[in-house]
Amino acid sequence: MTTTGPVHGTWEPAPAARWEDAFLSGNGRHGALVFGDPNDDRVIVTHHTLVRPNGGEHARPPRLAAELADIQDRLLAGDLKAAEGFTDGRPLQWVQPFHPAFQTRVRRTPAGGTDGYRRSVDFTTGEVTATTADRTSQVFVSRADDVIVQRISTTADLDISLDHRLPGAPQALGVGHGALRTPEGALLALRARYPGSDRAYTGVTLVAVTGGTTELVPPGVRVTGVSTVLLLTRVRRHTGELDVAAEARELRELLADERSYGRSYDTLLARHLDTHRAAYTRVTLDLAAAPAERALSGSELLQQPAKAALLERLFAAGRYHLLSASGLNPPRLTGLWTGDWDTAWSGAFTNDANVNLQTASAAAAALPEVSAACAALVQRQLGDWRENARAVFGARGAVAPAHSDGESGLSYHFSREYPLHLWTAGADWLLKPLVDHDEIRGERDPRTAAALAEVAAFYEDFLTRTDADGHLVVVPSYSPENRPADASWGAINAAMDLSAARHALRTAADYHPGPDADRWRALADRLPPHRVNADGALAEWAWPGLDDTYDHRHLSHLYGVWPLDEITPYDTPELAAAAHRALELRGAENDSAHGHLHHALIAARLRDGDRVAAALGQVLDGDFFHASLMSAHYPNRNVYNADAAHTLPAVLIEALVQSTPDRLVLLPALPAALAQGRLHGIRTRFGAELDLSWTPDGAQAVLKPSRTLRIDLWTSSGVQPLDLVAGEDHVLSPGAW
C-alpha cells in the first residue's frame, strides 16, 4: 500500500485472535470474516438471509384499528398515559436474529512458522490477504458471481473442513456433514436445521487442488503435496431439502482452467473488480496526513486518534464496508457480519435511526449500490407496510416498522416502554435516501413515486383530528425512543412525526402532479408548526404541556434539520437557532456511537464545526473501533456494531459539502483539526459532481454539472447565484469565495 496518498486498506502484523478483529469482505449477500492464521485459517461465512426462527416468522401486527378513536379521544382529553393501553397485550417479540453460518477451516499439518507474517485488506479489491515466508492466503467475496473465493498457495499439507461450532450456536441445531471426491479435488457440504423448524441452511465448498492429492477424511478433506488450493463457498437458507448436486455444478462452472485452478482465482477476481473497484474508487478523501502515519497498522493508528491518517483510513474503510454490506439488503446493525449467534438486538434492520445513519453517505458518496439495496428492501416489504397501516390504524397506505429481520416488514416488535407500533415516521425516513438518489441522477424512480403515494394515502386517512386552532394533530405520536418528562411514551405531535408527515406529503405531491398533489399539499399545510420551549429549544413534542427529556441517545426531534432540509440556517434561521439550542441541551445518555454521530450530522447542518469535532472526538477517543476497522456500539469496543464505521464518512462529507436541488454549501462546519485536504468525486443533489480542496489559505472547487441550472452558492463569504451549464466544468477559485 502506498503512503504517498490516502491508504485504501489496512493491515496487521498478527492474525486475528477475536472474530471482531477479523478482516471483512462482502458482496451485499455473502459476507466473510477472515482471521488469517496460517496454521488454522478460519473464514466465518455469513449471508443476509440467515436469521434464526424464533416465532417472529409467524408474528403479525396488532389489530388495534377499532380502538384507535377511543385512544385518540383520551389523549386529546389529557389522559397522557392512554396509549399504554393501545396494545393487544402480547409480550415483547424480537425479530428473527441474524447469525453466522459456519467457518471454513484450513489447518496446516504440521503447524509451521510465522516468519514474515502480515495480513491486510485491500479496499479497492475487497481482497483479504495473509502471508508468511512459505504461505499465502487470499480471500474475496465476488459481486459478479456471488461466491466466497479463497486461494491458498503452500507446500504444506492441509486439513480442510466446514465447522458450525461458533459462539452461541444452539445445541439442538441439527447439523449434517458431507464430503465427496470430485475431479477437481473434493466437495464439502454442511446442512444445519434450526431447532423446532422446517427451515435450514446449507453451505457448500468446492475444493479444487493444483499440484497435490486429495484424501477424504470425514467430515473434511486432507490435501497433501499442495501447490495451490482454491475454495469456492456458498450458503443458502431454505425450507425442505437443497439440491447440493446442483450447487456443486454451479461452483464447478466457475473454474476457468482445469490445469491450474489458481488461475480461476484471477479470472473470478477480474470479474468482481469490474463492479467493486469502479464503485469504491468514485470518491476519495485526502487529509494530507504524514506518510509515516499512513504506514502504520490499523491497531497502531487507532492509538493516535488525533491523527489525520486515522480519519482518512476510517473514511475509506467506512465506504468499503458500507459497499460490501449492501446488495440484497442495506446493512444491518452489524453490517453483513457476525461471528456470534447471540447478536445484540437481533442484528436487525433498525429503522428508527441505525439503518438511516449507516446509509447517510450513500447518495453524496457516490454509492448508488447502497441506495439500490435500500430500495430493494422497501419494495420487498411494501405489502407488509400496508398491513401495518390497516391493522394498527385502520388506514390505507403504508407504515414502516421500527425493526425488521429482512424477511418481514410487519410491526410486531413493541412493548410498553418501546411502543414502536405507534411510530408513523419510518416510511418517510426510509424513502428519503431514495429521493436524494433521484435528485442526484435527475430522474424519478416510479417505484419510489408509488411508495410515496402510499405514504401520502396513509396520512390522508390518519390525520383526521384537529386542535383548537384548526391544525391537524398527530395522535398517537411517538418520538423514538424517548418519552416526555411528564407523560408516557405514546403522546401527541412529536416533532419528528410532524416533519415526516409534511415532507412525505409534499414530496409525494412533487412526484405526482395533479389533483392528488393539490390535496396532499393542502394536508401538509394544515399541520402545526414546531414549538420552541421555555429553554429556547425546539421542543421534541409540539403539543403544549409535554416537557422535554434531554438526556437521550436519539435526536429524533431534529429530523427536520437532518436528514431533511425543513430547518436550515439559510431559510429558517430562527428555527435553526432553536434547533441548535436543542442540540446543546441534548445529553449522550448511554454513550452509544450512533448518538454521537447523529449529533455530529445535525451539528454540521447547523454550521457548528466545533460541535462536529467534539462529537467525532467522543468516538475516536472512546475506543469504538476494532482492528478490523469495524466498530462497536459502546466505548471500549463493547458490542460489535456498524453504526460508527458506516456513519463516519457521512459526518465528514456533511462537514465539508452540503447540497439541495438548488443550493451548494461549501465548508459549512470544517473542524479546526482538518486544516487541509481534498475531497474528490462527491455527488450533489442538483446533478453535479464535485471536487473540493482546501488549505488554511483558501479553497478551490470544481463542479461538473450534468444539467443546466442556477443554484445558490453558500460559503464563508455569504451567498451568491451560480449558473451551471451541463457538460461544462465550473471552477470556483479562492477569489470567488
How do residues 2-51 score in pLDDT, each as one tens digit?
A: 467 889 999 999 999 999 999 999 999 999 999 999 999 999 999 999 99
Q: What is the pLDDT of residue 245?
A: 92
> Do residues 526 and 488 touch, judged by C-beta distance below 8 A?
no
Query: What is the sign, positive or negative, of the torsion defined by CA atoms of 552, 557, 558, 564?
Result: positive
pLDDT digits (tens, 9 = 90+) for 439-490: 999 999 999 999 999 999 999 999 999 999 999 999 999 999 999 999 999 9
> pLDDT category, 737, cuts 50, 70, 90?
low
Alpha-carbon gap, residue 711 to 661, rounded angstroms? 8
pLDDT beyond 60 at 525: yes
Residue 285 phi, psi dihedral angles, 5° rounding: -125, 125
Q: What is the pLDDT of residue 2?
A: 45
- What's the DSSP call for residue 51? B
97 φ/ψ sector (left φ>0, alpha ψ -120 to 50, else beta): beta
CA distance readout (Å), 58 to 54, 93, 194: 9, 11, 15
Q: What is the pLDDT of residue 114?
A: 86
| Structure-derived torsion over alpha carbons of residues 390, 393, 398, 403, reported in degrees to the nearest 10 | -100
The domains found in the chain, sorted by start residue, are 18-51+96-279 (2.70.98.50), 56-93+326-587 (1.50.10.10)
Q: What is the pLDDT of residue 1?
A: 42
> pLDDT category, 413, cuts 50, 70, 90?
very high
Alpha-carbon gap, residue 317 to 68, rounded angstroms? 47
Three-class HEC string of 636-675: CCEEECCHHHHHHHHHHHHHHEEEECCEEEECCCCCCCCC
In the chain, the percentage of residues whose pLDDT exceeds 90 is 94
> Do residues 520 and 456 touch, judged by C-beta distance below 8 A?
yes
Q: Please list the residues that pair with 253 across neighbouring strands.
A: none
Alpha-carbon gap, residue 84 to 78, rounded angstroms? 14
CA distance readout (Å), 711 to 8, 37, 562, 667: 34, 54, 21, 17
What letter represents residue 436's amino acid? D
Query: HSE (CB half, 13 Å, CA atoms) of 578?
Result: 21
Q: What is the pLDDT of residue 4?
A: 72
- Three cell numbers written together for 615: 462529537
CA distance readout (Å), 26 to 29, 160, 329: 7, 22, 12
The mean predicted confidence, pLDDT, of the chain is 96
Residue 451: name the closest of 372, 394, 525, 507 by CA: 507
Q: What is the pLDDT of residue 80?
A: 93
- Three cell numbers written together for 172: 439442538
Q: What is the pLDDT of residue 5?
A: 83
Chain centroid, CA 551 distance in Å: 25
Q: Please list the residues that pair with 157 across neighbouring strands.
A: 109
Alpha-carbon gap, residue 49 to 238, rounded angstroms? 10
Q: What is the pLDDT of residue 258?
A: 61
- Grouping H, G, I as helix, E, B as strand and the rest as coil, residue 282 is coil
Alpha-carbon gap, residue 575 to 557, rounded angstroms? 12
pLDDT digits (tens, 9 = 90+) for 149-164: 999 999 899 999 999 9
Record the pTM: 0.97
In residues, how long is the chain?
737
DSSP assignment of 455-516: HHHHHHHH--EE-TTS-EE--SB--TT---TTS-SSBS-BHHHHHHHHHHHHHHHHHSTTHH
pLDDT digits (tens, 9 = 90+) for 559-576: 999 999 999 999 999 999
Q: What is the pLDDT of residue 257?
A: 66
pLDDT digits (tens, 9 = 90+) for 305-333: 999 999 999 999 999 999 999 999 999 99
Count of Cβ atoms closer than 10 Å to residue 273 Cβ = 19
> pLDDT category, 671, cuts 50, 70, 90?
very high
pLDDT digits (tens, 9 = 90+) for 172-188: 999 999 999 999 899 99
Q: Please list the residues that pair with 414 across neighbouring strands.
A: none
Largest CA distance in the chain: 85
Q: What is the mean pLDDT of residues 289-293?
A: 97
289 φ/ψ sector (left φ>0, alpha ψ -120 to 50, else beta): beta
> Do residues 242 and 192 touch, judged by C-beta distance below 8 A?
no
> pLDDT category, 503, cuts 50, 70, 90?
very high
> pLDDT category, 627, cuts 50, 70, 90?
very high
